Every structure is written in C-alpha cells, then in structure tokens.
Structure 1
Amino acid sequence: MPEKAVDFTGLRAMYINCTLKRSPEVSNTQALIDKSASIMRSCGVEVDQIRALDHDIAVGVQPDMTQHGWETDEWPAITERIMAANILVLGGPIWLGDNSSVMKHIIERLYSNSGILNDAGQYDYYGRVGGCLITGNEDGLKHCSMNVLYSLQHIGYTIPPQSDAGWIGEVGPGPSYLDPDSGGPENDFTNRNVSFMAYNLMHLAAMLKRNGGIPAYGNQRTEWDAGCDPSQINPEHR
C-alpha cells in the first residue's frame, strides 16, 4: 500500500444518508457518500455512517422525544455518534428542487441539540466541521447545498471552503447517478468537488482539533447570560 500523502489519523467523520430509500435498496446518494468516505479512510480518518430511514427517529425539536409523547426515539443514541465525530457530512437527494423530507427531518433533530453547551460555555457543535453531498436528476443542487450548509453553520458547525459536492446529470427526467450510461461515477467535475470537499473538511477539522476548537472569547453563552458583554470596554462586568 502506498504511503499516505497526508495522515489525518485521530479524526472521525460521520455521514448521514438522507435518502428516501431504506436499506438494502440501492441509493445514489450512498454511492457518492462511499466515494467521499473512501478518501477519508485512505487518510486515516475513522468513518461512521447511517442511513436515516433505517432508524426510528421521532419528529420534533427536542433532544429526546420520548420525553414529549413519543414511544421510541433513536436520536439520542445517534447524537452520541455525531458528537464523537470531528466531521459531519449530510447527504441526500433532490425532490421538487429542494432537499428531501428526510434531510429536513435530520436538520430539525440536529437543531434540537443546538442549545447544549460545551465545557467552555459555547454551543456544543463548536469545533466541528460540516459539509454536504447532493444527488438527483433535476435542478436544485446549489439551492439544496446552501440550505444544508447554512443550517449547519447556524447551529455551530464550521464550514470550510468548497464543502459541498453533488451530481445531477442532465436536468429533467433522466438517469440517476448509478444508472447505466449516466456518466455519474466518471464525471470529472463531480469527482473533483468530492475530493476537494473531503480534503478541506479534513484539513479544517485537524486545525480545529490541534487548537482546541474555536477560541472561547466573545462567543460564550454562559458569559453572556452572566451579563458579560465582550463588546464593552470592561467586558467582565455590566
């Protein structure tokens, strides 16, 4: 085996496939995830992944919906896997020009944990990086990516440059990524973006890990609630 050009051993990545197909149905999104994940594995990254529809994830915006009337909710266990990762990649298909209902569901559940704080008093997603992969055979790739990346940064993830990639083929009813003669797996533009995304996610995640995350000044919810406004001349007091 050739020596790694870069070694990101110690990093962990989590991929969530938001396809509308349960396993073992063929998922075009999964094929793109596999291509990205293989790059990370080749660099020493430990990769974890789930297909959201294979799990009983309750609807809602609370961390554990069994405390709000639902009989079961696998989200708390999935959250532990997400929080163990330095990198989160959400992948999904385009439907009617927008993200799938499953993608929206996962983003809502990620949001449900956004009020939790880390030991520095920052929001708990700080210090992690996020990206997205989008597939489809209709227009909307950039729109879907914007929505996902905005949502991730809003709850605390850091977004590196060019942290989205996808494939749509010819706009309109046509072949999907894995269909015969689609050209998807061989598409140079898609392969380039998948590669750039993977490496940029790893580079930034490694930088954040080396430096202990985002510096904890001016962004601590605990300090703000205590009345310490960093924009004031004496920020330690009201």
Structure 2
Amino acid sequence: MIRALPLNCTLKADPSESSSTDAMLAVVADAFRARNAEVSETVRVAALNIKPGVTSDEGEGDDWPSLRTRILAHDVLILGGPIWMSQIGSIAKRVLERMDVFLSETDDEGRMPSYGKVAVAAIVGNEDGAHFSCAQIFQALNDVGWTIPAIGACYWVGEAMGSTDFKDLDATPEMVTKTARMMAGNAAHLAGLLAGHNYPG
C-alpha cells in the first residue's frame, strides 16, 4: 500500500488553531484514500523546532532529524502551505532548505534518499501566487531528488484583495475536488511504479 505524509506548513504554530492549509490537506487526503493509499496524520511543521541550516541534524533541540525520518518512510510527500506575499510561506521554504543536504547523501549509485519517492503540493491563499508557489516548490523538490507527477498540485485562491479563506468556504469547489482526485491518482500510480522500479542512478 502506498503511504502518504501530509506536511502542513501554515505559519500558525498552534495545532489547535484551524488553518486553510489543514482544510485543503483534508480534501487531498480523502482523494488519496479513495486511491487506496494510506495517509498518515498531518504534521504541523510550525509546531516543531525545525532549525535553519542545510544539514540533516543542526544539533540539540533540532526536530528535523525525526521529521526527516518520517518523511522518508513514506512513498508520497504532500507539501501543503499558504501563499504569503505572492509566494510560498517561510515554513515550507524551511522544509525545502533542510532537504538540500540530500544532494550529498547519495547511495553507491548516486541516488539521493528521495529517489523513488513522489511529491505533490497543496496550496491555499486569498491572493495571487499559486502558480509561482508551485514553481518554487517543484523546482526545489526536483533538485533534491523527488519525482513530481502530472497534475502535481491542487490549489485554491480567493478573490484578489479579498478576505475569504479556504477554511471558511461553505463547500469545497468542484474543481478543487476534481483536481485533488487527479493529483492523488497520478501520484499514487507513479509511487507504485517507483516502489518496484527505482531510478538506476
């Protein structure tokens, strides 16, 4: 069974505080479960102490080593986050920065720890920037060995200069649900193929 791990990169550190990223990740998680994938409990990254740096362990108090282990124990990474100032938020960028060390953690065939694993993005915001955020995420993830499937992102943005959040909608827009299903299907399919036939390196 394909296993997926959602990371909520909201700027809100309190897990009890609702976030639109959580709402989007719930839609995506349902889509993955509909494809017979196992979806682990969402990790609220801002609630952890993910230190700045580009190693796999930045010393005492760094929560990245344990999160790194959890990420790599799954077949699919669902990186969810909000748009701030028309780009992906700083918490998601911290996660991406910490994976930079994968470039030097290769096996005998030159494969990074993320080789053979799939990543997708779940983006929310009430301003422009969804495509730019996806571009940032996908370029960074691809650089450090992740595979991006066709239709690798599901996003929602509200009216320009508006104040409505995704979590406050009365219902999930049909196109969001449809895109989540396509993304989950493609990602689960690709992860299944890679699980049995990793890249040669």
Q: TM-score, normalised by structure 1?
A: 0.79
Give the equivalent residue in structure 2 for 1:13.
Answer: 4
1:92-171 aligned at under 5 Å gives the runs: 92-118=81-107, 120-171=109-160
1:91 maps to which residue? 80
Higher relative contact order (CA 8 A, sep 6+): 2
Measured after TM superposition, the shift of residue 97 of structure 1 is: 0.4
Aligned length: 199
Of Structure 1 and Structure 2, the greater helix share is in 2
The 5 A counterparts of 1:74-85 are: 74-85=63-74
Alignment gaps of 5+ in structure 2: none
Which residue of structure 2 aligns with residue 204 of structure 1? 190
Runs of 4+ aligned residues of structure 1 deviating over 4 Å after TM superposition are: none
Work out the CA distance in 2 between the residues paired with 1:15 and 1:58.
20
CA distance in 1, matches of 2:33, 2:132: 29
Query: Which residue identity is paired with 2:177?
Result: N
Unaligned runs of 5+ in 1: 1-9, 220-238
Q: Secondary structure at the match of 2:123?
A: strand
Is the contact made by 1:114 and 1:125 (CA closer than 8 Å) also made in structure 2? no
Aligned counterpart in structure 2 of residue 190 of structure 1, from 171, 176, 179: 176
Aligned mate of 1:54, from 47, 71, 75: 47
RMSD of the alignment, in Å? Answer: 1.4
- Taking the aligned partners of 2:17 and 2:195, their CA distance within structure 1 comes to 36
Match of 1:26 among 7, 18, 35: 18
Alignment partner of 1:162: what SS? coil
Identity %: 33
The answer to whether residue 28 in structure 2 is matched with residue 42 in structure 1 is no
